[in-house]
Chains A and B, each alone.
Chain A
Amino acid sequence: DAKTTQPPSMDCAEGRAANLPCNHSTISGNEYVYWYRQIHSQGPQYIIHGLKNNETNEMASLIITEDRKSSTLILPHATLRDTAVYYCIVRVLSGSARQLTFGSGTQLTVLP
């Protein structure tokens, strides 16, 4: 799985968009970008994933650059409940079950 780099922490004002970057310069053509988040003392929660096209769901949007070497997770209207550690993970979409490998992630703090 390709290595990812994320800033250790970010702040965001409540109600504003939170933009979380992730660098994955060694990503290969068949690797997807996944985002999970972990609210304090809970298990990780899936947010979104994508290959090369931008993706949007009810939780967030994922913007992947054309060269796929970086991506941005966007929470359009952050709330206090979005305070969590956000993990960007790059991996192939495998037919067999393989573990997810977590990096250090970004601690997002949404401020009132």
Chain B
Amino acid sequence: GAVVSQHPSRVICKSGTSVKIECRSLDFQATTMFWYRQFPKQSLMLMATSNEGSKATYEQGVEKDKFLINHASLTLSTLTVTSAHPEDSSFYICSARTAPAQNGYTFGSGTRLTVV
């Protein structure tokens, strides 16, 4: 089945530094990918929709200059958390649509970001 690979699975960074998270579709092309954030004991919240070859669409309240999204190819989307602060510590998950029907959505395994 379709696989979305997300890397790294865990990262610890110092406050003020930037962190890049990669999301790759391994055996299919994904023109659209989604980035979610999940705080402890909460549900997934959509941050942005990443479109290949165009600008990402951000949800209300998500700072586009802080969470940089690049979707330069049909198999790779990246999320860069710039000038990270402890409140950015969270579980980040990407998702891609794999088919026009049925389940259609495959998720990465997530990235646990801890900012110290």
Contact status B34-A42, CB under 8 Å: no
Q: Give Cα distance in the complex from A76 to B4, angstroms.
A: 28
SS of A interface (majority): loop
**Chain B residues numbered 21-46 whose CB sits less than 8 Å from any CB in chain A:** 31-32, 34, 36, 43-46
Q: Give Cα distance in the complex from A38 to B93, angstroms.
A: 11
The answer to whether the Cβ of A21 comes within 8 Å of any Cβ in the partner chain is no
Contact status A43-B49, CB under 8 Å: no
- Residues on B lying within 8 angstroms of A by beta carbon are 4, 6, 31-32, 34, 36, 43-46, 49, 91, 93, 95, 97, 100-103, 105-110, 112
> Can you give 25 contacting A-B residue pairs, CB < 8 Å?
A34-B103, A38-B44, A41-B91, A43-B4, A43-B95, A43-B107, A43-B108, A43-B110, A44-B95, A44-B107, A45-B107, A46-B105, A49-B103, A95-B100, A97-B31, A97-B32, A97-B97, A99-B34, A99-B95, A100-B105, A102-B36, A102-B43, A102-B44, A103-B43, A104-B43
